[in-house]
């Protein structure tokens, strides 16, 4: 009796790695172009941004308020605009796309692990033909859109392992020191600096 081989996984951070910019901010600006009457909400976002920068509020609460620009809109409409945004987007990092294609050719299963809300980057994953995504959850409740716990740091590693309990993390790509748990768990880790891929060594300082 034969068993399936354990999957070999390549994990990619999204913002600053696969995508060269900030997807949440860019999609927000795109949303305002489509719905200019919503631009008044920029003032609310600015207030919470200052509070976040001054450490008065945590990242989860900041993001929960920031995504208020979609409040009141049905999921189907948000998903449609997100799909449109990514279908015309050219902000992907070509060096990381090359690494993604190489990993596929070597039989690795690509996974995107991101702190961004899942509804905003799931269409990007479909564009890149990536089937597996772990990200900050965004769901609809009686009070509108609500964000789950920010998917960052060790939570990314835990969620990747939960997705593939028997899998081996072969490669990890990230531009963020928050991803040290993933980088340290990988057979090979790579930091992204100015769009370039730099081999990660656990003893190196990460900024």
Q: Is residue 106 part of a domain?
A: yes
Taking Cα atoms as reference points, which of 132, 125, 111, 126 lies closest to residue 174? 111
Q: Is residue 2 part of a domain?
A: no
Q: Is residue 101 part of a domain?
A: yes
Does residue 51 contact residue 57 with C-beta atoms inside 8 Å?
A: yes
Q: CA angle 5-7-148, nearest 5°?
A: 145
Q: Is residue 124 part of a domain?
A: yes
Distance CA 8, CA 166 (A): 9
Share of the chain above pLDDT 70, in %: 95
pLDDT tens figures, 151-187: 989 999 999 999 999 999 999 999 998 999 999 999 9
Q: Is residue 82 part of a domain?
A: yes
Q: Is residue 126 part of a domain?
A: yes
- pLDDT value of position 2: 47
Where does the pLDDT of residue 203 fall: very low under 50, low under 70, confident under 90, or very high at 90 and above?
Answer: low
Does residue 130 contact residue 111 with C-beta atoms inside 8 Å?
A: yes
- pLDDT value of position 6: 82
Q: How many domains does the chain divide into?
A: 1
Residue with tokens 């790695």: 17
* Alpha-carbon distances of 123 from 127, 142, 144, 163, 189, rounded to whole Å: 6, 25, 21, 20, 26
Q: Is residue 1 part of a domain?
A: no
- Which CATH number does the domain housing residue 32 bear? 3.40.50.1000
Total-model pTM: 0.91
Q: Which domain holds residue 33?
A: 8-199
Q: Is residue 205 part of a domain?
A: no
C-alpha R_g of the chain: 18
- pLDDT value of position 139: 79
């Amino acid at each position: 009796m034969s068993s399936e081989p354990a999957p070999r996984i390549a994990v990619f951070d999204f913002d600053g790695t696969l995508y060269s910019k900030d997807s949440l901010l860019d999609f927000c600006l795109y949303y305002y172009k489509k719905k200019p009457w919503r631009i008044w909400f920029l003032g609310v976002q600015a207030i919470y941004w200052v509070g976040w920068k001054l450490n008065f509020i945590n990242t989860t609460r900041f993001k929960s308020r920031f995504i208020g620009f979609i409040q009141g809109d049905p999921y189907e409409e948000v998903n449609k605009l997100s799909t449109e945004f990514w279908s015309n987007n050219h902000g992907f990092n070509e060096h990381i796309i090359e690494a993604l294609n190489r990993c596929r050719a070597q039989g690795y299963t690509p996974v995107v692990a991101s702190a961004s809300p899942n509804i905003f980057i799931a269409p990007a994953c479909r564009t890149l033909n990536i089937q597996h995504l772990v990200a900050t959850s965004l769901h609809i409740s009686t009070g509108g859109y609500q964000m789950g716990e920010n998917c960052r740091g060790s939570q990314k590693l835990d969620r990747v392992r939960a997705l593939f309990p028997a899998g081996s993390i072969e490669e990890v790509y990230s531009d963020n020191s928050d991803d040290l748990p993933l980088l340290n768990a990988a057979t090979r880790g790579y930091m992204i600096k100015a769009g370039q891929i730099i081999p990660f060594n656990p003893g190196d300082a990460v900024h």
